Chains A and B, each alone.
Chain A
Amino acid sequence: MPAVVMPNTADWLSQLAGVPMPARGQEDWRFTELAALQGLAPELWSGVDPFAQINLPAGISRIGADEAQGLQQQGLNSTGGGNVWSVRLNQGASPRCLALRVAGEAGPLQLHFDAGAAPGLLALQLVLVLEEGASLELLIQHGSSGPNATSFVVVAQLARGAKCNLGLLAPGDARASLLSHLSISQAPASSLQVTTAVGGWALSRLEPCIIQLEGAAQTRLRALQLVDGKELADTHSQVSFEGPDGQLDQLHKVVADGAGRSVFNGAVRVPRRAQQTNAAQLSRTLLLSERARVDTKPELEIVADDVKCAHGATISRLQQNELFYLQSRGIGAEQASRLLLRGYCEEVLRELPAAAAALNPLELLLRERL
């Protein structure tokens, strides 16, 4: 399939999205420089359809295109994701779509999208429906080795009692960008874990938007983002509780080195109808360089009065007491630093779906720093 060449205008991405590119004046993009996207060659990716050759394990079946579109719209409406720029860009860029229905206990699924060295924009969509009591372990890998951008939108619905363990492992390239939006709605008694590990991209932007439609569900978010050189990694998460008794456990970890930039904005919305919500959010940053920059912001909107909502943010260098402890056991300062860095990352990486272990995510993300 030949590449779709777009009119070579500076604002071709805005044309695709149907709205102007976000500007720094917009609160959601205040710290996020989109320069990496502005240099993107105006082409739509034309490689082999990555969804054509996927073997689905038992319990997972494909959904037809029309139904998938309806489900996607419905999912985006519930989280408000439909108005997000990254989603609009995706929808305008002739995305390839994989839509799956999961019934019962499905085998683990692994999806790998590598944008390769080709220039331009690769747009992908994944629609997931987990039926009542279904369970799924899904590992998604992204990669790139060239001046391109991957736009990825996931819309998932978890019915009552469904369990979903979703991992996103994305070691990038210093010329490439990753824009990933996840809109996930949870029915009561469902359980969701999303673990993301992202590093090495010129620009990465992750937008996990989760809604507990009637509360009474469990959401566990684990994230690791690494920046070095002039990379920028941004996570804007949003968890909304639309009923009582919901739970959230969120840990967001950052390693910032070089002149890298990290942005984290963690929104948690607990309206009056969401009494007895129990939500905890912790953001931790390991700052390894004087030149790195970190913006981290919890954004808690709590109206209900009978809730437990905890949040915290720490920014620190390697802990001197930990370093000394290792040194006092014969481990040299440099090796001790490496061990501590690995340990810091491992706390998140070990929560990726089991299939990730064979890929050695630590090595993929840390590379020569190991």
Chain B
Amino acid sequence: MIRPDAPVLLEITGLHARVEEQQILNGVNLIVRSGEIHAVMGRNGSGKSTLSKVLAGHPAYTITEGSITYLGSDLLELAPEQRSRLGLFLGFQYPVEIPGVSNLEFLRVSTNARRAQRGEEELDTFAFEDLVRERLKVVQMDPAFLNRSVNEGFSGGEKKRNEILQMALLEPLVAILDETDSGLDIDALRIVADGVNQLAGPDNATLLITHYQRLLDLITPDYVHVMAAGRILRTGGKELALELERTGYEWVDQELANLGREPAEVL
């Protein structure tokens, strides 16, 4: 929902970033206000996933220029765990398997870290089990997954549901979902999209990073941004996604050529 007077949660200005020696982001500008759902689209290698990792504070990426302001503070000053505690959430494209660490214990420690930041009391094992069982419904997940190791042996769809479960527990202010739709069959996609829709509200914002229109059939974005060569090339409403579905990304090369840039490398 677009409300021009809604508070700004996230403001990215002139962001340049590289990984090792490769420059990937070349001046990203984006303002996200509460209540909004943004979709970031673009081809492989356009910088979408890098943007999400930079926002979450992945140590492999170096910011060379620009700024990110989150809730009025400099996000780049914060460690990844502090960003999470303050309500920034990254749903991973490839959720990591951690053998030996119980999913339930992981979810509890994580939830309590966020609660402590908000001045709420920590939940003991019993109170947390009550909470998690209620939130499991958001993604229609089997409680048996709580007793397994984090993501270990989960199918692609189960991993993505586990990500949305974490989102449901952490109640983020800004949720960045990096290709949450990739590798999902149609039923899993619907469940995940339902979960995101249930969690989106007037006081938070969602950034969906995706290749495909099909996720946006289920979650209606307020803004669609097209990324190419490490910047946002065009911004529009949900109709822009439909247009991309029809025309593909070839116009992007033309537009980049007009700007005198190399086309994005297709990985």
Interface residues of A (CB under 8 A from B): 319-322, 324-333, 335-336, 339-340, 342-347, 350
Can you report 6 residue pairs joining A to B where beta carbons are below 8 Å apart? A320-B59, A324-B58, A325-B98, A329-B81, A330-B170, A332-B79
Q: Of B20-28, B109-117, B244-252, which binds chain A? A: B109-117
A325 near B166 (CB under 8 angstroms)?
Answer: no
- In angstroms, Cα B56 to Cα A322, docked, is 14
Please tell me if B101 contacts chain A, counting CB pairs below 8 Å: yes
Contact residues in A for B156 (Cβ distance below 8 Å): none
**By the criterion of a CB under 8 Å from any partner CB, how many residues of chain B are at the interface?**
30
Minimum CB–CB distance from A363 to chain B (whole Å) comes to: 15
Q: Which residue of chain A has the shortest Cβ distance to B113 in the bound complex?
A: A330
Beyond A325-B92, A330-B117, A339-B109, 5 extra complex contacts between A and B, CB < 8 Å: A322-B98, A329-B106, A330-B113, A330-B170, A344-B99
Selected contact of B109 from candidates A319, A335, A347, CB within 8 Å? A335
Q: Return chain B residues, CB-CB under 8 Å to A329.
A: 81, 84, 106, 110, 113, 166, 170
- B110 adjacent to A327 (CB under 8 Å): no
Say if the beta carbon of B90 comes within 8 Å of chain A. yes
Q: Nearest residue in A to B88 (C-beta to C-beta)?
A: A328
Q: Please give the distance in Å from A333's CB to the nearest CB on chain B.
A: 7
For A342, the chain B residues whose CB sits under 8 A away are 100-101
Which residues 114-132 of B have a CB within 8 angstroms of A?
Answer: 114, 117
B95 within 8 A of A: yes
Q: Are A324 and B100 in contact (CB under 8 A)?
A: no
Cα distance A335–B79 when bound, in Å?
14
Task: Name the one of B79, B96, B113, B117 contacting A325, with C-beta atoms under 8 angstroms.
Answer: B96
Partner of A343 from the list B57, B83, B99 (CB cut-off 8 Å) is B99
Residues of A within 8 A of B110 (CB): 326, 329-331
Q: Which residues of B contact A325 (CB under 8 A)?
A: 92, 95-96, 98
B84 contacts A346, CB within 8 Å?
A: no
Please give me the 10 A-B residue pairs with the lowest Cβ-Cβ distance, nearest first.
A343-B100, A330-B113, A343-B101, A330-B84, A329-B110, A346-B100, A327-B80, A325-B96, A347-B100, A330-B85
Query: In the complex, what residues of B have CB within 8 A of residue A339's CB?
Result: 101, 105-106, 109
B117 proximity list for chain A (CB < 8 A): 330
Q: Is the CB of A343 within 8 A of B109?
A: no
CA distance A331 to B83 in the complex (A): 10
CB of B43 to closest CB in A, whole Å: 24
State the Cβ distance, A324 to closest chain B Cβ, in Å.
6
Is the Cβ of B96 less than 8 Å from the Cβ of A331?
no
Binding site for A on B (CB under 8 A): 56-60, 79-81, 83-85, 90, 92, 95-96, 98-101, 105-106, 109-110, 113-114, 117, 149-150, 166, 170
Which residue on A lies nearest to B60, using beta carbons?
A320
Min distance, Cβ B156 to any Cβ of chain A, angstroms: 16
In the complex formed, the residue of A with least CB distance to B110 is: A329
Inter-chain contact A328/B90, CB cutoff 8 Å: yes
**In angstroms, how far is the closest chain B Cβ from the Cβ of A191?**
23
- B84 surroundings in chain A (CB, below 8 A): 327-330
A328 is contacted by which of B57, B98, B101, B150 (Cβ under 8 Å)?
A: B57
Residue from the list A321, A332, A333, A350 in contact with B96, Cβ < 8 A: A321
CB distance from A144 to the nearest CB of B (A): 27
A340-B98 contact given A329-B110, A330-B110, A331-B110, CB 8 Å threshold: yes
Most interface-central of A326, A329, A347, A350 (chain B CB within 10 A): A329
* Bound form: Cα–Cα A129–B99 in Å: 35
Most buried by B among A320, A321, A325, A336: A325
* Complex contacts, A327 vs chain B, CB 8 Å: 57, 79-81, 84
Contact check, A330 vs B114: say whether CB atoms are below 8 A apart.
Answer: yes
Tell me the smallest distance from the CB of B113 to a CB of chain A, in Å: 3
B98 with A343: CB separation less than 8 A: yes
Q: How distant is the Cα of A340 from the Cα of B81 in the complex, in angstroms?
A: 16
B215 to chain A, nearest CB (A): 21
Across the interface, which residues of B come within 8 angstroms of A345, CB to CB? 100
Q: Please, how many angstroms separate the alpha-carbon atoms of A340 and B90 in the complex? A: 20
Interface centre among B57, B106, B117, B149 (most CB of A within 10 A): B106
Can you name the residue of chain A whose Cβ is closest to the Cβ of B99? A347
Q: A324-B59, A324-B80, A325-B92 are in contact. Are A331 and B98 (CB under 8 A)?
A: no
Give CA–CA (A114, B148) in the complex, Å.
35
Contact: B81 with A333, CB < 8 Å? Answer: yes
| Residues of A close to B149: CB separation below 8 A | 343
Q: Which residues of B contact A350 (CB under 8 A)?
A: 100
A329 to B79, CA, bound (A): 11
Residues of B within 8 A of A332 (CB): 79, 81, 113
Shortest CB-to-CB span from A135 to chain B, Å, is 26
Which residues of B lie under 8 Å from residue A331 when comparing CB positions?
81, 106, 109-110, 113
A345 to B100, CA, bound (A): 7
* Most chain B Cβ neighbours within 10 Å, of A330, A331, A332: A330
The interface residues of chain B lying within 8 Å CB-to-CB of A335 are 109
CA of A326 to CA of B90, assembled, Å: 11
User: Given the complex, which residues of A lie within 8 Å of B57, measured CB to CB?
Assistant: 327-328
Q: List A contacts of B166 (CB < 8 A).
A: 329
Expressed in whole angstroms, the Cα–Cα distance for A333 and B113 within the complex equals 13
- The residue in chain B whose Cβ has the minimal distance to the Cβ of A325 is B96
B58 and chain A: residue at smallest CB distance: A324
A341 to chain B, nearest CB (A): 9
Chain B residues closer than 8 Å to A322, beta-carbon distance: 96, 98
B100 near A344: Cβ-Cβ < 8 Å: yes
Neighbouring B residues of A326 by C-beta, 8 Å:
98, 106, 110
Which residues of the partner chain A approach B106 to less than 8 Å between Cβ atoms?
A: 326, 329, 331, 339
Residues of B within 8 A of A344 (CB): 99-100
Using Cβ atoms and an 8 Å threshold, which residues of chain A touch B170? 329-330
Closest CB of chain B to A367's CB: distance in Å?
18
| A327 to B58 CA separation, bound complex (whole angstroms) | 9
Please, which residues of chain A bring their CB within 8 A of the CB of B114?
330
